[in-house]
Amino acid sequence: MPSFQVGEAAGLLGVSPDTLRRWVDAGRLPASRTAGRRRVIDGVELARFAQTLTSTPGPDAIGANASARNHLVGLVTKVVKDKVMAQVDLVCGPFRIVSLISREAADELELAPGVVAVASIKATNVTLEVPGS
């Protein structure tokens, strides 16, 4: 099983290395030390811990119950409209989400930079890659 140094694990969780060290020091995330006294986190333990950090917004956050399980609350950063379509960019934590929707929908939702929106993602095809393979 892979193991990760503090900086790598922090990057995967989207937090600073200092935050990850505090979690380890508080006993929230188990870590061991190498012969050189560097902290390492077991990949399986990191995956378990990552699951505790995830949440799905409930009906209050998204306005209704929905079948899509991937809801990302974010801030609209850009809206580009033409006569028929709109491209809406959101920043959801460290991620950029781009949605192509009808201009009519963008207008009805009053989407503009600074507006909070929820990206609901339901995909039957998701491509996965392993870095360095």
In the chain, where are the structural domains located?
A: 3-53, 59-119
What kind of architecture, by CATH, is found in domain 3-53? Orthogonal Bundle (1.10)
| Domain 59-119: assigned CATH number | 2.40.50.100
pTM of the model: 0.59
pLDDT reading at 76 higher than 80: yes
Sign of CA dihedral 115, 116, 122, 126: positive
pLDDT tens column, 23-59: 999 999 999 999 999 999 998 899 888 878 766 555 5
Rounded Cα distance between 14 and 29, Å, is 15
Count of other CB atoms within 10 angstroms of residue 10: 19
